[in-house]
Structure 1
Amino acid sequence: MRKYQKILVTGADGFIGSHLVEYLVSLGYDVRAFVQYNSFNSWGWLDQSGENIKKSIEVFSGDIRDPYGVKKAMSGCDAVLHLAALIAIPYSYHSPDTYVDTNIKGTLNILQAAKELNVQKIVHTSTSEVYGTAEYVPITEEHSLVGQSPYSASKIGADQMAIAFHRSFGTPVAIIRPFNTYGPRQSARAVIPTIITQIAAGNNKIHLGSIHPTRDFTYVEDTVSGFVRVMESDAAVGEVIQVGSNFEISIGNTARMIAEVMNAEIVIECDDNRLRPKLSEVERLWCDNSKAKRLLEWQPRFGGNEGFREGIRRTVIWFTNSENLGQYKSEIYNM
């Protein structure tokens, strides 16, 4: 018998959240999907899920910034996987106030409701961006936190709120810290979909920002399996646990690998609009995933150079499907 029966996923309409909902349903969990309210009654990426998924879940439309709606959504749930957040770094330069409201206040709403409802487990989603440029590699969970963008600062604040509730009230919180997740359905504001959609549109001149920074890209299937492992593990409570591939690659070499997979010849051109402010650019990210392996017995299926290539291949297949590609505007920079 499962320890947790009813699971709430916030941000269920998003890239990672929709994959996580599908995975939880496949494992037999009873899932309530918290999606952003809108007048179109859109469930985001969950609208693309199979009918078996949509019939299996309970959808709750609301706003993570509303404490009353959040508490209602959490009522009757044994565990909460909290992914709802604003995540686009460029937009955080434009509208930082919304990031404080959504990421910090939204997390506070989850934690406060969990305390009042005696929810058995909260998994809060962090990000590798909280580290800023790596001071050493591979990065461990003990690395210092540096807010190099309003987005990362808001996520540091949210992480610290989660830790504070655990230490102050014994709230059963675990923090998962994914590195750069990629895969089908990812927003075009992220670099891998940006490259794929430009090539798929027939462009050989690919517009990017800085290409020398490195990232640790993690395929979405690995990320969602990490979420479930953190949720199911008692040892994860009170801990920050990184989920990453332990493989470092530059943006430029990522673009070249994608071009190889797509059998394309490309020229990379710098677009000033895509550059971060100089002191805000995170130059290097590389995950030490040994804690996840030790505490959760988790490891990436798509690790290393060959694993990354396979993840890229799967991502390209999805994006180059005409119905999927038609949902993206490759000619417009998505802030």
Structure 2
Amino acid sequence: MRILVTGGAGFIGSHFVRGILSGVYPYWENTQTLVLDKLTYAGNLDNLAPVANQRNLTFVQGDICDPVIVDKLMRDVNLVVHFAAETHVDRSIADASEFVRTNVQGTFTLLEAAARAGVDRFVHVSTDEVYGSIEHGAWAEDQPLSPNSPYAASKASSDHLALAFHRTHGLPVSVTRCSNNYGPYQHTEKLIPLFATNLLDGLTVPLYGDGRNSRDWLHVDDHCRGIQLVASKGRAGDIYHIGGGTELTNATLTGQLLDICGADASAVRRVPDRKGHDLRYCLDISKISTELGYFPRISFSDGLADTVEWYRTHRDWWEPRKVSTTATT
């Protein structure tokens, strides 16, 4: 089997690629893996270093908006797993143009090429943010989309495009929507790595507003296992939620990070809230659990402690790309 992984040098995509090439996923042991990544600030070949010498890996630096490159790579591909995206909400508020280009136009370019090539499966990786905020309960897959940030709107647009290509052209597309990811190799603009690395350096951490914003946290390994299940057994034309089952306010999460890093409340610096900041996200994962047997395996307490320890012992990875910013949550 030949798999094309877009954004395969990014945080989640590289974890998926490392899993494929390490033989983690059943029946994919001899898979030929093609990675297409533009290597923007969020993509890094160091993320693929543990598997860089595998003979089944081919890396191509290129843009998903480039139809020449995309058409060439799509030939003889059985499966496309599409991770490539601009994802940082704050950046989308400052300038949404690259989000529209990459997340909408780039997805369109991939879908057109996949339809022409007749690929067997196309998994489009999306986010819970497309639904907007939910006060109580959890979103089901059939709920209407109501994105509030330019990032979320661009992802909602790409979701609609992917499903339209299934309905119009018969392209066997499945869409996954996940909750907030965390784990090793995540860029330091995101909340957990930003706060962890700040605290490890004895710095303060920037907490938005009153800290009541609530998110469900999903370890990247559980997310990638869910994607593999959808790619292997999911139904074409369907949407599947992948969640972690641990809902925390940002204030509670910050407190846990303070404890792990040996800091106290004086390290918390309150900053003005983000524009259009959604209060709460929560996904119902009963569909993927019932149909495909998915459940999160990594407890949040263990996953968070292991993640902080990874940043503690991989300073050479994050120091060169450390940012000073507020964090996406």
Residues 18-75 of structure 1: CA distance to partner in whole angstroms, max 9, x if unpaired?
000011112312111111167x9x9714455225655431011110111221111211
Q: Which residue does the alignment assign to 2:301?
A: 309
1:327 aligns with 2:320: yes
Q: Which residue does the alignment assign to 2:114?
A: 114
Contact 1:292 1:298 in 2 (8 A): yes
Contact 1:174 1:239 in 2 (8 A): yes
Compute the displacement of 1:83 (Å): 0.6
In 2, Cα distance between the equivalents of 1:284 and 1:276?
A: 14
Percent sequence identity is 30
Contact 2:21 2:51 in 1 (8 A): no
Alpha carbons of 1:308 and 1:121: their partners in 2 closer, same or farther (altered >3 Å)? Answer: same
Residues 105-143 of structure 1: CA distance to partner in whole angstroms, max 9, x if unpaired?
111111111110000000001101101111541222122
Q: Which residue does the alignment assign to 1:65?
A: 65
Select the residue among 14, 27, 33 that pairs with 2:10.
14
The unaligned stretches of length 5 or more in structure 1 are none
In 2, Cα distance between the equivalents of 1:159 and 1:330?
A: 30
In 1, Cα distance between the equivalents of 2:141 and 2:51?
A: 39
Contact 2:3 2:81 in 1 (8 A): yes
Residues 219-268 of structure 1: CA distance to partner in whole angstroms, max 9, x if unpaired?
010011111111001x4311110100122110110011112222322332
In 2, Cα distance between the equivalents of 1:52 and 1:281?
A: 39
Q: Which residue does the alignment assign to 1:230?
A: 230
Moved over 4 A (4+): 45-48, 51-55, 330-335
Alpha carbons of 1:58 and 1:216: their partners in 2 closer, same or farther (altered >3 Å)? Answer: same
1:196 aligns with 2:196: yes
Where do residues 19-30 of structure 1 align in structure 2 (5 Å cutoff)?
19-27=15-23, 28=29, 29-30=31-32
Paired letter, 1:15? F
Q: Which residue does the alignment assign to 1:250?
A: 249
Paired letter, 2:2? K
Where do residues 1-335 of structure 1 align in structure 2 (5 Å cutoff)?
5-27=1-23, 28=29, 29-36=31-38, 44-51=44-51, 54-203=54-203, 205-210=204-209, 211-233=211-233, 235-267=234-266, 268-272=268-272, 275-277=273-275, 280-302=276-298, 307-321=299-313, 322-329=315-322, 331-333=324-326
In 1, Cα distance between the equivalents of 2:167 and 2:46?
A: 35
Paired letter, 1:32? L
The unaligned stretches of length 5 or more in structure 2 are 24-28
Alpha carbons of 1:148 and 1:319: their partners in 2 closer, same or farther (altered >3 Å)? Answer: same
CA RMSD of aligned residues (A): 2.0
Paired letter, 2:32? D
Paired letter, 2:207? L
In 2, Cα distance between the equivalents of 1:295 and 1:241?
A: 10
Paired letter, 2:38? Q
Compute the displacement of 1:310 (Å): 0.7
Partner secondary structure for residue 236 of structure 1: coil
In 2, Cα distance between the equivalents of 1:146 and 1:131?
A: 5
Paired letter, 1:33? V
* TM-score normalised by L of structure 1: 0.90
- Of stretches 239-248 and 45-54 in structure 1, the one that deviates more from structure 2 is 45-54
Partner secondary structure for residue 119 of structure 2: coil
In 2, Cα distance between the equivalents of 1:37 and 1:74?
A: 19
In 2, Cα distance between the equivalents of 1:145 and 1:187?
A: 27
Alpha carbons of 1:43 and 1:179: their partners in 2 closer, same or farther (altered >3 Å)? Answer: closer
